[in-house]
Structure 1
Amino acid sequence: MSDERETTPNDETAEAVTIEENGVSEASAEASIAALVEAERRAEAEEAAVEDAELAAELEEPADPEPDHPEPLPEPAATTSPAKPKQAKKTKQPARKLAVLGSPIGHSKSPALHRAAYKKLGLPWQYETADVTGDRLAEFIDGLEPEWRGLSLTMPLKQSVIPLLGDMDRLAEQTGVANTVLLDDGTLRGFNTDVSGIVWALEAVGLESATFVHILGGGATAASALVAAAELGAERVDIFVRSLERSVWLEPLAHELGLRVRIRPLSQADRSLDIPDLVISTLPGGVSTDALYTDSTRRRSVLLDVSYEPWPSVLASAWQAVGGRVVSGLAMLAHQALLQVRIFVSGDPLEPLDDEDAVLAAMLEAVGIDESGAPLAD
């Protein structure tokens, strides 16, 4: 009997045995497959990375040192005492200087009107008075420092300033009268705001048209009154003056405006057979006149007396005595001053101010009148 016997390996022996098939071991095959899988994974990862890079390149915008929409900053860490929010910085307005010039000038209400306007607008501007005559006007202007912004002009400077101006608006050029000067980068720009001041003051009492107008006086303001009459639709204007020779310069202006005009002595003003719709007195304050007008005329005509000091004037008292309508020159002054403020602020009389109604209300309150020139109730 032979000692050799046939044996069958158990499960553990079978797992340890390496079986070759077609000359390749099972372990070697598994290693090759694993290597292929890993290589394929790396290739896919590289391909995805390339695609991501290409997409990012297509979407990328040029670098901007000051982006329009910067990324929000991270919120600060909470503290026991919240930080006080910072107030937005306000743009500091430069201090500017302005003044009203004339002689005499101590009675002028322009400083009260302008100061109220600039206070309401939040502007740190100064507005003063200066007694200046025509022969000193050029010297005064030449001595102004760069912080000066503008000038208001009254008697006797409204015509004296014309040769000094480098530019004029239409009304100043038409009338040969400028009551406003803007100092604009070395250029003197002249404006006439009296015309609109007259029209606006009359509109405030409901007078929006006038066919026949009387004008008393033949000075610079009479030219503005002529243009205002034309803007109100006048067809005829009678001008009553103390000196016919010194007032003939108004005649060409009246013809240019398409007005039928007569220039007569002041003493004949109340002898007109036709009652005017409007009487505009441009006579200086305190000047008396022999023209008192009839009761009928004073009841039916509106009187605008451009003088407001002293008030009431002789003419205004006569109108008020019979219940006639009277418009104070202070109302005209306020309305023309509003246009001056526009000019000094923006350089343009047609550019309304911010919250202009409130600005005008502050100006009127400063001189104690409403838009029509009537005193404010206590």
Structure 2
Amino acid sequence: MDKKTPESPDAAETAQPEPLDENGVAEAAAEAQIAAIVEAEREAEAEEAVVAEAELAAEVEEPADDEVAEAVEAEPEPEPAAVPAKAKPVKKAKPAARKLAVLGSPIGHSQSPALHRAAYEALGLNWEYDAVEVAEDDLADFIGGLGSEWRGLSLTMPLKQTVVPLLAEVDHLGEQTGVTNTVLLDDGVVRGFNTDVSGIVWALEAAGLESAKFVHILGGGATAASALVAAAELGAERVDIYVRSLERSVWLEPLAHELGLMVRIRALSQADRSLDIPDLVISTLPGGVSTAALYTDSTRRRSVLLDVSYDPWPSILASAWQAVDGRVVSGLAMLAHQALLQVRIFVSGDPLQPLDDEDAVLAAMLDAVGIDATGSPLAE
């Protein structure tokens, strides 16, 4: 019988048991756990590094609070606005003085200085206004010799027509009448205006006469032309002009026709022979001149008289009207209203531009010559 060889032992029987640690855990398992812990720690560290990087980037973009505070502290604070010390009230200086004057011959009786001075005082203007005797032959030299301090001139007889050729510009009423009573010296330009027309109209309206269909005008001089235009503005249809010289007054006829008026020019002595009673009589005769035209009592009671002359006052005609309690408007009223327009021109260069507080200015002017708003003398 063959000799049998002995069989190889099983692997389970031949494998050596794994060594155990002091806690009875196999060493291989412990190593695996340690490796896992180490890996987890590495991952945690990596995450912490990423977070730290992000935080660092944020710190670079936005300064820390304490840095912001330091920057704010470093910025200089705005200086507080200075509180002005309580200043003493300073009076406004009056504008530089300008010179003005009324020219004519004779001129000593003129009330224009009183009117204009009252106006400029009311307006707070440091302006001078005087009366200067100037004859027709001297007017051109007088105007040519005026300095830059001169602002304007008022003109009375006999200069209202003489001045026209000396003017660079003339307003519409000046052109229409051929008469200029106001000169504005405007930066070297000599400009002329007629304020007599509106002076007549405004004075009569202030006295209560707003219209007149039939008008008598006494006198054929420069002021008669303004009276003719004023009559047209009051709605006149017919005007009779009574003059001392027919030959010297025919120049008024074309103006009347231009205004659409029926006109007759007659001798002064015929003025009171009119069968029709006029609504208005305007006398442009010089002061102190006597006239045979005294009119009837009936006419003087029913017609309004405007006597442009105011010196002496009452005039012969005004006395006749007053004797029968007729309505009389003093030439001072016309003078005051036309002067108000002159003041407008001298102040603004425009007769249509009202003055500041114009009612108060006019009141001061009227008071300066002793008349009320209707043109009547103030009671003493």
The answer to whether TM tops 0.5 is: yes
Aligned position for 1:333: 335
- Find 1:307's aligned residue among 309, 320, 337: 309
Alignment of 1:235-246 (within 5 A): 235-246=237-248
CA contact (8 A) 1:307 1:329 kept: yes
Distance 1:339 1:77 in 2: 47
Distance 1:20 1:189 in 2: 113
The answer to whether structure 1 residue 112 and structure 2 residue 114 are counterparts is: yes
Aligned position for 1:199: 201
The answer to whether structure 1 residue 21 and structure 2 residue 38 are counterparts is: yes
Aligned position for 1:74: 80
- Find 2:283's aligned residue among 271, 281, 284: 281
Aligned position for 1:211: 213
Note the alpha carbon deviations across 1:157-198, whole angstroms, 9 max, x for none. 000001001100000000000000001111111000000000
**Structure 2 spans left out of the alignment, 5+ residues:** 1-20, 24-35, 64-77
CA contact (8 A) 2:94 2:125 kept: no
Counterpart code for 2:86 = K
Aligned position for 1:262: 264
Distance 1:73 1:95 in 2: 44
**Structure 1 spans left out of the alignment, 5+ residues:** 7-18, 47-71
CA contact (8 A) 1:216 1:266 kept: yes
Shift of 1:320: 0.4
CA distance change for structure 1 residues 357 and 77 in 2, over 3 Å: closer, same or farther? closer
CA distance change for structure 1 residues 73 and 160 in 2, over 3 Å: closer, same or farther? farther
Shift of 1:39: 3.4
Alignment of 1:1-378 (within 5 A): 21-22=38-39, 24-25=41-42, 28-29=45-46, 32-42=49-59, 45=62, 74-76=80-82, 83-85=85-87, 87=89, 90=92, 92-378=94-380
Shift of 1:90: 4.0
CA distance change for structure 1 residues 73 and 270 in 2, over 3 Å: closer, same or farther? farther
Shift of 1:219: 0.3
Report SS of the residue matched to 2:340: helix
Distance 2:169 2:96 in 1: 25
CA distance change for structure 1 residues 89 and 371 in 2, over 3 Å: closer, same or farther? closer
Counterpart code for 1:196 = S
CA contact (8 A) 2:94 2:124 kept: no
Report SS of the residue matched to 1:334: helix
Distance 1:100 1:288 in 2: 26
Shift of 1:76: 4.1
Distance 2:233 2:290 in 1: 29
Counterpart code for 1:105 = I
CA distance change for structure 1 residues 139 and 77 in 2, over 3 Å: closer, same or farther? closer
Greater than 6 Å deviation, 4+ residue runs:
none
TM-score (norm 2): 0.83
CA contact (8 A) 1:193 1:336 kept: yes
CA-atom RMSD, angstroms? Answer: 2.5
Distance 2:296 2:117 in 1: 41
Report SS of the residue matched to 2:129: strand
Distance 1:286 1:335 in 2: 23
CA contact (8 A) 1:217 1:242 kept: yes
Counterpart code for 2:56 = A
CA distance change for structure 1 residues 219 and 77 in 2, over 3 Å: closer, same or farther? closer
Shift of 1:205: 1.2
CA distance change for structure 1 residues 73 and 344 in 2, over 3 Å: closer, same or farther? farther
Counterpart code for 1:327 = V
Shift of 1:37: 3.4
Note the alpha carbon deviations across 1:15-46, whole angstroms, 9 max, x for none. xxxx9521755884475144233135247639
TM-score (norm 1): 0.84
CA contact (8 A) 1:227 1:257 kept: yes
Counterpart code for 1:374 = S
Distance 1:362 1:240 in 2: 36
Distance 1:175 1:5 in 2: 142
Note the alpha carbon deviations across 1:112-161, whole angstroms, 9 max, x for none. 10011111111111001100011000000011010100000000000000
Distance 2:38 2:340 in 1: 110
Note the alpha carbon deviations across 1:296-324, whole angstroms, 9 max, x for none. 00000000000000000000000000000
Report SS of the residue matched to 1:22: helix
CA distance change for structure 1 residues 377 and 21 in 2, over 3 Å: closer, same or farther? farther
CA distance change for structure 1 residues 73 and 336 in 2, over 3 Å: closer, same or farther? farther
CA contact (8 A) 1:20 1:26 kept: no
Counterpart code for 1:298 = R
Aligned position for 1:63: none
Fraction of identical pairs, as percent: 77
Note the alpha carbon deviations across 1:220-272, whole angstroms, 9 max, x for none. 00000000000001111000011111111101101111111111111111000
Report SS of the residue matched to 2:285: coil
Distance 1:371 1:224 in 2: 22
Counterpart code for 1:74 = P
